Structure 1
Amino acid sequence: METHFYSFFKQQKKSLSITEANRYHALNDFHYHVETELIYIIEGEGTLLLGDKLIRVSRDTLILIGKNTPHMFKFDTFTYQDDLMQRGKIPLQVQLLTLHFDPHIWGDAFMKLPENETMSNLFTEAAKGLHIEGGEKKSVSELMSKLLSAPVYEHFSILMNLFNTIALGKEHQFLTETPDADTLNKTDEKRLSKIYIYTLNNFTRAIKLKDVADIVYMCPNAFCRYFKLRTNKSYFEFLIEIRIDYACRLLREKDYSTAVICYNSGFGNLSNFNRHFKTLTGKTPLEYRKNPGSSRASFSYAQ
C-alpha cells in the first residue's frame, strides 16, 4: 500500500489522492500505509477491522484512520429478504469518497508552527481511528466533495480547513486504542487478511481450528500461537466477537427469537450464547434488544 500511494503521488504530481468509487481501494486486504485515510461511506454497509476493534459501518458514515494503523474493510455485496432461509438475494450498492494524504509532505517546520498544533495533534490521535458524526460530519463531507472537483491551487486551503474542522470539532469519538503496526509485515498482512476473510465468510457455521489453520499453511498449535501474538487475543475470542456482533445486528434489526438468533449466529447452544453475549456486551440479549445503545461491547456500530 505504501508503494502504491507513493507511486500514485509521484506519477500524478499530486500530494493527495481523493476518489469517488463503487469499491474500496484495498478490498478485503488487512493493511496499513503512511497516509492518513479519510473515508465517507455514501452508500454501503459492512465491517471494518481497525487494529483489534470490530466496527459495523453503514451508509452516511465518516471514518478517519491514521498513518500506519492496520485496517481492513469488508463490504457486504448482498443481503436476503429472508435471512434465516437465505432466500431472496438483494444486491447492495457501495459508493465511497476516500481521501489519502501524507501530512509529512507539509514538512516538520510547517507542522510545528503554533498555529498548526491542534491539527498536528489530530494526525497523531488519528492512529486510534475517529468516527465523525453530526454537524462535524456534514461539514467535513462537504469539504471532501469540494476537494474532489477543486482546482489544484485550492487543495492546500481546503485540506487545512478540512482537518482543522475535525481537530476543533466535538462530534467525534475514538474507535480503538492505538494499534501497533511495527509488529506487522507484508507476510502478516496476507495471512491475517486470509484469516479474517475466511472467518467473516464462515462464522455462521461450525469452524474447526484445523480448517482455518490450513488456509495459512500452519498446524493448529502454531496457528494459535501466531494469531495470539499478532492480535493479542485468541482466534476463538475473535470468532466469538464476530458472532456476537452479528447477533447484536439481528437483535436490532429483526424480531427473531433469541434461540433463532443464537443458532443463526453460529452458536451451538443457547447457554453458551447467553454467557458470551453477557460477557461482551454487559447485557442479556433481551436487555440489549430493549436498549442497545449503552452496551460495553468490544465492537461498535458506526451508524
Structure 2
Amino acid sequence: MVIHREITPLKEDDCFLVFDRNRNDFTFPIHFHPEYEINFIHNAKGAKRIVGDHIGEIDDYELVMIGPNVYHGWENFNNDTSRTLHEITIQFPKDLFDSFFLNKNILKPIKELFKASRHGILFSKETILAVESKLYSLSKKSGFDNFIEFQSLLYDLAVSRDKKTLTNYSVGDPNDFHNSERIEKMYSFIKDNYRQKIKVEDAADHINMTEISFSRLIKKSTGKTFTELVNEFRLRYATRKLIESNESVSEICFDCGFNNISNFNRRFKEKQGCTPTEFRANYMGTPNIF
C-alpha cells in the first residue's frame, strides 16, 4: 500500500486551519503530514479508522488527534453512504508552540497531549459532547478570539478522561524516508521554488543525492515521480487561491508555477474531478485559516 504525504495549505505565517464540510463518503487516501491534526466526524457510524498499525470501526461520534507524520485516514466500510456525515478537521504546525512555552506548569497537560498524539488519541463520547460546541464555533469565529478558543479546546482535550492511544507505531526511525531530515529538506526546497521551473537534478543536489538514487527513492516511498510531487504542491496552493481570492484562473495558474492554462486545467481536473472554474463555482465547505 502506498502511503501519501498530504501537502496541507498551511503557510509559514498561519497558526491553524479549520475545515468544516458535509459529505456522504470518504475519498481521501491513507496519508501523513508534518502537522498535528484533530478530526471530528459525526454521522458516519461503521466507517473504518486507520491510524498507524491500528484499524477500527468508528461510532456515530468520532474525535481523534493525530501527531506529526503518523499515517492515518478514514475509509468507507459499514457506514451508510446515503447519509450525510459532518467532518471538522483542524490542522496546525508542529512548531506552533515552542518548548519554552509548553514547559510552563499550566501548559504541561497540553505538552503531554502532544506527546501522546504521536500514537493517535481517541477521545470518549463524553469528551466529544463536552467540546462539540467549541469545534463548531472554530469555523465561525475569526481573529484572536478564535486562537483563544483553539487553545481552550486543546486544554479541554488535554485534561479529558478516558483517552485511548490507538497505535504502537512510532515515528522517528532515522532510516525512514518519510520522516528523515532529507525528505523534509526536499519538501522545503519544493515549497520555496514551486512557482518556478524546478529540475530534479537541483532537488537531488540539494539533499546530496545522485539524480538516479533520488528519483528511485521518491518513487519507492511515495509512488510518485518528482514532477508529480511538484505539481501536487502547485495544485494545493492553486486550490487555496481559488477558494480565498478573486484572482482569475489564469493568474492563479501562472502564480502557482504552471506554464500554460491547458496543462493547469488538465492537472487540476485529474486531481479534483473538475476544472478550476467549476471547482470555484461549486465549492462546498468552509475553510478558515488563521
Q: TM-score range by the shorter chain?
A: 0.5 to 0.7
What pairs with 1:1-303 in structure 2 (closer than 5 Å)?
Answer: 4-5=7-8, 8-10=9-11, 14-23=14-23, 27-45=27-45, 46-76=47-77, 79=80, 91-180=82-171, 182=173, 183=176, 185=178, 187-190=220-223
* TM-score (normalizing by structure 2): 0.54
Larger-gyration structure (1/2): 1
Closer/same/farther in 2, CA of residues 118 and 34 from structure 1, 3 Å limit? same
After superposition, what is the alpha-carbon deviation per residue over 1:254-299, rounded to whole angstroms, capped at 9, x for unaligned? Answer: xxxxxxxxxxxxxxxxxxxxxxxxxxxxxxxxxxxxxxxxxxxxxx
| Percentage of identical aligned residues | 16
| Mapped contact 1:77–1:91 kept (Cα < 8 A) | no
SS in 2 for 1:96: strand
Closer/same/farther in 2, CA of residues 75 and 22 from structure 1, 3 Å limit? farther
Q: Structure 1 counterpart of 2:67, which letter?
A: G
| Mapped contact 1:27–1:72 kept (Cα < 8 A) | no
| Mapped contact 1:39–1:97 kept (Cα < 8 A) | yes
Distance in 2 of aligned mates of 1:127 and 1:164: 17
After superposition, what is the alpha-carbon deviation per residue over 1:131-187, rounded to whole angstroms, capped at 9, x for unaligned? Answer: 111332112222111211112111221122111111111132111224336435364
Q: Which residue of 2 aligns with 1:249?
A: none
Distance in 2 of aligned mates of 1:106 and 1:24: 35
Closer/same/farther in 2, CA of residues 106 and 78 from structure 1, 3 Å limit? closer
The CA deviation at 1:103 is: 4.2
Q: Which runs of 4+ in 1 moved over 6 A?
A: none
Distance in 2 of aligned mates of 1:96 and 1:2: 20
Q: Structure 1 counterpart of 2:53, which letter?
A: D
Distance in 1 of aligned mates of 2:156 and 2:147: 14
| Mapped contact 2:16–2:93 kept (Cα < 8 A) | yes
Q: Structure 1 counterpart of 2:84, which letter?
A: Q
Name which of structure 1's ranges 109-118 and 157-166 shifts more when overlaid on structure 2.
Answer: 109-118
Closer/same/farther in 2, CA of residues 35 and 59 from structure 1, 3 Å limit? same
Q: Which residue of 2 aligns with 1:240?
A: none
* TM-score (normalizing by structure 1): 0.52
Q: Structure 2 counterpart of 1:69, which letter?
A: V
After superposition, what is the alpha-carbon deviation per residue over 1:176-216, rounded to whole angstroms, capped at 9, x for unaligned? Answer: 2243364353644549xxxxxxxxxxxxxxxxxxxxxxxxx
Query: RMSD value over aligned CA atoms?
Result: 3.0
Distance in 2 of aligned mates of 1:145 and 1:100: 15
| Mapped contact 1:131–1:174 kept (Cα < 8 A) | yes
SS in 2 for 1:10: coil
SS in 2 for 1:158: helix
| Mapped contact 1:47–1:74 kept (Cα < 8 A) | yes
Q: Structure 2 counterpart of 1:31, which letter?
A: H
SS in 2 for 1:170: coil
Distance in 2 of aligned mates of 1:24 and 1:153: 33
SS in 2 for 1:126: helix
Distance in 2 of aligned mates of 1:184 and 1:160: 32
